[in-house]
Amino acid sequence: MQQHAQLGFHVDMRACIGCRTCVVACKDRHDLPVGQNFRRVVEVEGGGYTETGTGAVIPHVFAYYFSISCNHCDHPRCVANCPTGALRKEPSDGVVCIDQAVCIGCRYCSWSCPYGAPQYSPNTGTTRKCDLCADLRAEGQEPVCVTACPMRAIHWGPVDELKRRFGGTMDVAGLPNPSITSPNGRYTPHRDAGRRPKP
Amino acid sequence: MNREDLSLAAFTLLVQLALGAVFAAAMLPIRLAGLADPGPLVHRLLFAAAPALLAGLGLSLFHLGRPGGAARAVFNLRSSWLSREVLFTALFAGLTCTAALLHLLGFHDDNVLWLATITGLAAVFTMARLYQATIRPAWSTLYTPVSFLVTAVLLGVAAAAPLVRFALVDDGLVRMLLTDMLLTGAGALAALMVALPLYAGALSRESAASRESLSLLTGRYALVMAIRIALAAAGMGLLVSGQANLSLWALGTGAAALLAGETLGRLLFFATGVPSAVGQL
């Protein structure tokens, strides 16, 4: 079998304004019920303030957003832990997907993913997740979150190419430790997003 | 906590209770060798363990979106601890039911009891590994297998103590067996008391999610944790009283207190399992 490049997403956190258009577009495309989102936007807030002593207060606050879906990890715990073998990593493009006919809805994959990618659907009794819009890709189109983003903050493609074009990292404060699953996403950090604090 | 967690809490408790009871049943022929016929007590323990296992397996189906596909849960033995847990628990249940049926038919085979015990240990070990392999730091520590084994011992004692009073007529033998159980239970409780501060220390160092778990244990659920430990201690105290005066009331109440304490402990386990997630600083 011919090996192709590992696919993934890149998100430019400097451009993301947290509008959640990507979430809505994904939800619409995959007809997801309330509570189920293959792509999510997580807001991170922090900071404090300084009192000058003259009655003034100077704020030092920040907020930034992670638009996140499945990172199609190199070592996906969801695949290793799935008891039925319904979850698999496609050898052709490294995309992690679920065979809906085999999944029994045990939700162990949800317990195994630090990015919250596998989402249980009460409607089907199974877990579903982002497959990088396999149906659109098969038609030569882009994943719907990429085309919907009004800020052009989301990109997709072979991860090596994304690294060359945008750089980026998964070692950003607010993201789980990348050593857990070796994720294939890339983030260009917001100016206020430091590196993940060392434990 | 949600409905699915409740079904898993019941499942884990029932399997661990069964392990404690089957282990006690396997030990009895050795402990009572030359003293008394262990048959009546082994019989009662097996007929406590077998329904517990069947009920546990049945309840575990309630956390599945498609219970009809449960048999497929053993398809990934190569890498999934959940597959291994399902396999070993099913084997444990099968062997325990076989031992119970053999006993009913008058065949007393100690080898089946020990085989069931070993399979039960494997089931509880894989059960612990299953939770350790998640992205919930509070479950990933050694506290998980330690607490599961402690529960197996305490619930085994809870199941066996009142049954001893029913099954044996010699008061001296009843006291001897109750002393054995009390020593074993006290050892398990002591192990838990040693493990708890080490667990808290590990949670304080690990990550934002583990610190959130520690904050829940020492804040919102501190009273529940205190009640859980108090129930375990009170249960052991009542069993000591029951051992002294052979009071069935004291033995039964002590067993109920141990069961309530371990149930609270298991609910706490699920309620404080905070996952690592995006957005945690």
DSSP string, A30-97: TTPPTT--SSEEEEEEEEEEEE-SSS-EEEEEEEEEEEE-----SS-HHHHH-SSS-EEE-TTT--EE
Query: How large a percentage of chain B has pLDDT more than 70?
Result: 100
At residue B16, what is the residue type?
Answer: Q
A146 closest CA partner among A25, A7, A15: A25
- B277–A84 CB contact, under 8 Å: no
Nearest CB to A82: which of B80, B135, B277? B80
Chain B residues with CB inside 8 Å of A180's CB?
Answer: 135, 276
Nearest CB to B279: which of A44, A102, A106? A44
Predicted confidence at residue A2, as pLDDT, reads: 44
Q: Collect the ranges in chain A with pLDDT lower than 50.
A: 1-2
Residues of B with CB under 8 A from a CB of A: 4, 63-67, 69-70, 72-76, 79-83, 86, 130, 133-136, 205-207, 275-281
pLDDT digits (tens, 9 = 90+) for B100-151: 999 989 888 889 999 999 999 999 999 999 999 999 999 999 999 999 999 9
A-interface mutation test, from B8, B75, B80, most A Cβ less than 10 A away = B80
Cβ contact A172:A196 at 8 Å: yes
Query: How large a percentage of chain B has pLDDT more than 90?
Result: 82
Per-residue tokens: A188: 């260009």
Distance from CA of A60 to the nearest CA of B (A): 17
Q: Which residue has tokens 């109440």? A: B253
A-interface mutation test, from B127, B135, B203, B270, most A Cβ less than 10 A away = B135
Distance from CA of A51 to the nearest CA of B (A): 25
Identify the band that residue B165 occupies on the pLDDT scale cut at 50, 70 and 90. Answer: confident
- A83–B76 CB contact, under 8 Å: yes
ipTM score over 0.95, yes or no: no
A62 touches chain B (CB under 8 A): no
* Mean per-residue pLDDT over chain B, rounded: 94
Pairing of strands A87-89, A96-98: antiparallel
DSSP string, A133-193: -HHHHHTT---HHHHH-TT--EEEEEHHHHHHHH--BS--TBSPPTTTT----EEE--TT-
A197 touches chain B (CB under 8 A): yes
Distance from CA of B197 to the nearest CA of A (A): 19
- A112–B133 CB contact, under 8 Å: yes
Nearest CB to B135: which of A40, A102, A112? A112
Predicted confidence at residue A1, as pLDDT, reads: 40
Per-residue tokens: A21: 């258009």
- B75–A85 CB contact, under 8 Å: yes
pTM reported for the whole predicted model: 0.92
Per-residue tokens: B98: 């076989």
Chain B residues with CB inside 8 Å of A173's CB?
Answer: 281
How big is the A-B interface in CB pairs under 8 Å? 115
- A105–B65 CB contact, under 8 Å: yes
- A174–B205 CB contact, under 8 Å: no
Chain B residues with CB inside 8 Å of A127's CB?
Answer: 65
Q: Which residue has tokens 């996952």? A: B275
Nearest CB to A116: which of B66, B72, B277? B277
Predicted confidence at residue B281, as pLDDT, reads: 82
A122 touches chain B (CB under 8 A): yes
A182 touches chain B (CB under 8 A): no
Chain A residues with CB inside 8 Å of B136's CB?
Answer: 111
- Burial pattern B196-217, b for ≥16 Cβ within 10 A else e, equals beebeebbeebbbbbbbbbebb
Predicted confidence at residue A196, as pLDDT, reads: 58
Chain A residues with CB inside 8 Å of B206's CB?
Answer: 199
Cβ contact B261:B231 at 8 Å: yes
Predicted confidence at residue A197, as pLDDT, reads: 56
How far, rounded to the nearest angstrom, does the alpha carbon of residue B47 sit from its chain's CA centroid?
17
* Mean pLDDT calculated for residue range B9-16: 97
Chain A residues with CB inside 8 Å of B277's CB?
Answer: 114-116, 176
pLDDT digits (tens, 9 = 90+) for B136-146: 999 999 999 99
Q: Give chain B's largest Cα–Cα span.
A: 65
